[in-house]
Amino acid sequence: QVQLKESGPVLVQASETLSLTCTISGFSLTNYGVIWVRQSPGRGLEWMGIIWGDGNTDYNSALKSRLSINRDTSKTQVFLKMNSLQTDDTAIYYCARGGGYPDYWGQGVMVTVSS
Amino acid sequence: DIQMTQSPSLLSASVGDRVTFSCKASQNIYKYLNWYQQKLGEAPKLLIYYTNSLQTGIPSRFSGSGSGTDFTLTISSLQPEDIATYYCYQYNSGNTFGAGTKLELK
């Protein structure tokens, strides 16, 4: 069955870089895109970016300068890196399958940015 | 950027009620709109895609309608397990979620 699971540090210092991994199973990264979405009380649900099945990426224009999404198809993993973290980047970070209509979601990982 | 406005922000209803959620886009998004349900402590769950297509496994009491800038999600007969926050999401130009409507039992 289709599954996604986020992993990474739960506490990051301000100004540092966040690195998260989304490990998938039950589908191929070459056939589906994977998106990253974050959720916080202040921002609500925010679409961050996508890596498409062909490996191309699109990013939220507000985050583009400090965000990158990559993948390792052999390891069935998708990676998010975001630099220059601030306290308002504190959020639950989700990965999900799909571009147009993300259908399967991971459980999310809560990341706190400490000053 | 396209803004998505959901109303109301809080909705109170009784079991068995017909419940309607509204979502308005700041510009024409044709039918490129999904609805998600999120229960406390869980990830969002896809209910409806492309305005009115029911996701596999979702009960038929959920339905969606609309086009252009105005969209609606309807629960025909509210069940206790439907208590959650509901979000619309557009993917016509960029990708944007609404702020959500929290559904509570009256």
Confidence (pLDDT) at A100: 84
Using a CB-CB distance cutoff of 8 angstroms, which residues of chain B are in contact with residue A99?
91
**B43, B55, B96 member nearest A108 (Cβ):** B43
- Each residue's pLDDT tens digit, A23-45: 999 999 999 999 999 999 988 99
Using a CB-CB distance cutoff of 8 angstroms, which residues of chain B are in contact with residue A101?
34, 46, 49-50, 91
With a pLDDT cut of 90, the percent of chain B lying above it is 100
- Each residue's pLDDT tens digit, B12-32: 999 999 999 999 999 999 999
Check whether A75 has a pLDDT greater than 80. no
Task: Give the residue-averaged pLDDT of A17-22.
Answer: 98
Confidence (pLDDT) at A60: 96
Write out the DSSP string of B5-66. Answer: EEE-SEEEE-TT--EEEEEEESS--TT-EEEEEE-TTS--EEEEETTTEEPTT--TTEEEEE
Using a CB-CB distance cutoff of 8 angstroms, which residues of chain B are in contact with residue A94?
43-44
Q: Do B46 and A102 touch (CB under 8 A)?
A: yes
